[in-house]
Amino acid sequence: MAYLLQASIRLPLHSLCKRSILSNPLISFRIPTAALPLKMSTNSTQLTHSITLPSQLGHPVQIVAAPCVSDSEFRNAMDSSLFKSWLKNMQSETGILAGGALYLDRVLIQGVDMFGKRIGFLKFTADIYDKAMGKKVPGIVFARGPAVAVLILLNSEGETYAVLTEQVRVPVGRLILELPAGMLDDDKGAFVGTAVREVEEEIGMHLNLEDMTDLTAFLDPTTGCRVFPSPGGCDEEISLFLYRGHVEKEIIMQLRGKETGLREHGELIKVHVVPYEKLWRITADAKVLTAIALYEMAKREGLLPPLKANT
């Protein structure tokens, strides 16, 4: 859904003077981006929005910034692809607002983490109520958007190996063995292109686009053809790809223990190569286990393209 954003912003006079904007405390502007109809107002302590969703025209939604969120962060949050995608999903055919039994009353923006000039992570709560019962449903959201991961299977001398990365994962306080993976830069990012780029960055191995198979594309269309690792608190949706190829044993040896990653981005990555038959037992990474399940089921159903001959 595309909307034209018409906004009014009220700022304290001292703020306007400091920013050298205008002497008039009321500023009106138009933003020619795909956004929601929006009104913005603020006093000295809190920023608020009022928006109207097409799915609930009679009940405007109040969007509020927590005290720790600056006005620029608030604006960026409202204009981010993360927030727009969340609202779009809420109103889609399978969205929780589509049937009219639930309504969105209020959103509290709690945190905005910037990755350069774009929002990387967005934290907010949503007050959503069941109309019949008048009860609020759980609505804590950590938004990080779509991501990709690749199950790389390499055949060498009659054995199949899987390629994993060992990364420092601060949220769980552990080193985790994972599939090569990465986030899409924006909502227009190419999934397969991002998958290939992440593999090149994380393990230093080039993959041809035409040799990639989207495992999540085999899911029923009603699922969105993505997997959701933690839908109770995070919006992340992952596309899982498969790459299969033949390599010399020397390549397997070169990959083992290889240190890679973009050091300037704080990536400290070590490559691991393990026999595929042992893969399901050596890591608890949800991406790995889901990819194994999709690969095995797709293979059983005869959905995978034939493996190219060793050249």
Place of tokens 């928006």: 51
Please tell me the distance from the alpha carbon of residue 236 to that of residue 144, in angstroms, as a whole number.
Answer: 6
Asked whether the predicted pLDDT for residue 7 surpasses 50, the reply is: no
Run of H or E including 208 = none
| Residue 197: exposure state from Cβ atoms within 10 A (0-12, 13-18, ≥19) | middle
pLDDT at res. 191: 78
Neighbouring residues of 53: CB distance < 8 A, sequence distance ≥ 6:
36, 61, 87, 90, 91, 97, 104
How many whole angstroms separate alpha carbon 166 and alpha carbon 178? 6
At 72, the amino acid letter reads S
- Which pLDDT value is given to residue 237? 94
Instruction: Give 184-207 as a DSSP string.
Output: -SSTT--HHHHHHHHHHHHH----
Please, which pLDDT band fits residue 203 given cuts at 50, 70 and 90? confident
pLDDT at site 108: 97
Strand 61-65 to 102-115 pairing: parallel
Tokens 């959103």 sit at which residue? 107
Number of H helices, E strands in the chain: 7, 17
Q: What is the pLDDT of residue 45?
A: 65
pLDDT at 16 over 60: no
Cα–chain-centroid distance for residue 97? 21
Q: Which of 85-89, 237-241, 267-271, 277-281 has the lowest mean pLDDT?
A: 267-271
The residue type found at 82 is L
Give the chain's mean pLDDT.
82
Q: Give the model confidence (pLDDT) of 178-199 as tens digits.
A: 999 888 865 555 778 878 887 8
Region 9-15: mean pLDDT is: 37
Q: How far apart are CA 29 and CA 17, in angstroms?
A: 18
pLDDT band for 84, please (50, 70, 90 cuts): very high
pLDDT (0 to 100) of residue 25: 33
Distance CA 239, CA 82 (A): 17
- Pairing state between β 174-178 and 159-169: antiparallel
Taken in order of first residue, the domains within the chain and their CATH numbers are: 48-143 (no CATH), 146-301 (3.90.79.10)
Mean pLDDT of 29-47: 48
What is the per-residue pLDDT for 18?
33
Share of the chain above pLDDT 90, in %: 57
Structure tokens at 50: 């009022």
From 10-19, 79-88, 151-160, the region with the lowest mean pLDDT: 10-19
| pLDDT reported for residue 307 | 85
Those residues with Cβ within 8 angstroms of residue 57's Cβ, 6 or more apart along the chain or in another chain: none
Residue 38: pLDDT band with limits 50, 70, 90 = very low
- Please, is 198 exposed, middle or buried when counting C-beta atoms within 10 Å of its C-beta (0-12, 13-18, 19+)? buried
pLDDT of 27:
29
Side chain identity at residue 190, one-letter code: A
What percent of the chain has pLDDT above 70?
A: 81
Instruction: Give the pLDDT confidence of 154-169 residue by residue, as tens digits.
Output: 999 999 999 999 988 8
Sequence-separated (6 or more) residues with CB below 8 Å from residue 283: 164, 176, 177, 178, 289
- Max mean pLDDT among 151-155, 171-175, 258-262 falls in 151-155
